Amino acid sequence: MGTLELILILGSISASTTAFIWMAMMHSSKPIGKNNTEDLLNERANVDVESIFNDEFREELRNRGRLHFEKIIGENAMFLQQDLRLTTSQLNEYMKTEITNKLREEFAKYEESITDAKQLAVDSITKTQDAIEEQRRMMSQQIQQEIAKERQRIITRFEDNMADIINHYVLEAIGDQIDLNDQLEFILSDLEQNKEAMIRDIKSGA
């Protein structure tokens, strides 16, 4: 930016100098007519030439250059500001687009991960439910079997007890009523059936 301003200032100075030089050359190249007029003009030209490059004129040129320079700087600043705003706007738009895309991608990935995790959790829950159901079914069967066994055991015990009660009742009821003499034949029959074993045991001794 400094170089450009310097070039512009130098360009304007050189243009002004070239214009004055050209005007002076034009006055000097006119044919010599009326002497007085020419002299006057020359004198006036000399005065003007001298006045052109006096301090006031230089100050005026400096002011003009300053104004022009400020104008150019202002215009450039404006352009630069516009460019900067445009760039900023584009950059914002770009950033917005990029961030949106990036966020969209990340959200998509996140959503996919969540979906996968959800599916995984659902599968796990389904497997767990299946396992629990299987376990419940096995336990139900086992409990049913245990209940059946327990019921059978209770029934068997009840029947045994009932048989013992009946046997005991019958023995108590008829035990004293049977005469031993009537039982002798049966006892001898039983002894006869086991006679060999008894004789073997007696002969073998203690």
Partner 1 sequence: MAHDNKDKDSLKGNSFLLPVGVVSKVDVARLIRDISALDDFLVSSAVREPGTNVKLPKTSRLMDEVFEINKLNPTNKPDRSKLIELLKTVKNDAPQIHISFNLEPSPQFIQRLIKWLRDEMHPLMLLKLGLQPGIGAGAIVRTTNKYFDFSLRERFSASKEILLQKIRLVSIDTASKPKEVPENSIEETRQVNIAETTGV
Report the site for partner 1 in 133-192 (rule: CB under 8 A).
159-160, 162-163, 166-167, 170-171, 174-176, 178, 180-181, 183-184, 186-188, 190-192
Alpha-carbon gap, residue 102 to 54, rounded angstroms: 67
Say how many C-beta atoms besides its own lie within 10 A of residue 8's C-beta: 16
User: Considering the complex, what minimum distance in angstroms separates the CB of residue 143 from partner 1?
Assistant: 25
Q: Closer to partner 1 by CB, 47 or 178: give it.
A: 178
DSSP state of 53: T
User: Considering the complex, what minimum distance in angstroms separates the CB of residue 154 from partner 1?
Assistant: 14
Q: Does residue number 195 form part of the binding site for partner 1 (CB under 8 A)?
A: yes
Alpha-carbon gap, residue 146 to 149, rounded angstroms: 5
Q: Does residue number 197 form part of the binding site for partner 1 (CB under 8 A)?
A: yes
Q: Does residue number 14 form part of the binding site for partner 1 (CB under 8 A)?
A: no
Q: Closer to partner 1 by CB, 86 or 171: give it.
A: 171
Q: Closer to partner 1 by CB, 32 or 173: give it.
A: 173
Say how many C-beta atoms besides its own lie within 10 A of residue 13's C-beta: 13
Among 2, 31, 33, 205, binds partner 1 (CB under 8 A): 205
Instruction: Please give the C-alpha separations between residue 77 and each of 2, 8, 82, in angstroms, as whole numbers.
Output: 13, 15, 8
Closest to 30 (Cα-Cα) out of 51, 17, 19, 45: 45
Q: What is the DSSP string of 129-196?
A: HHHHHHHHHHHHHHHHHHHHHHHHHHHHHHHHHHHHHHHHHHHHHHGGGS-HHHHHHHHHHHHHHTHH
Q: Does residue number 25 form part of the binding site for partner 1 (CB under 8 A)?
A: no
User: Considering the complex, what minimum distance in angstroms separates the CB of residue 153 from partner 1?
Assistant: 15
Q: Closer to partner 1 by CB, 118 or 151: give it.
A: 151
User: Cβ(12)–Cβ(68) under 8 Å?
Assistant: yes
Residues that bind partner 1 (CB under 8 A): 159-160, 162-163, 166-167, 170-171, 174-176, 178, 180-181, 183-184, 186-188, 190-192, 194-195, 197-199, 201-202, 204-206
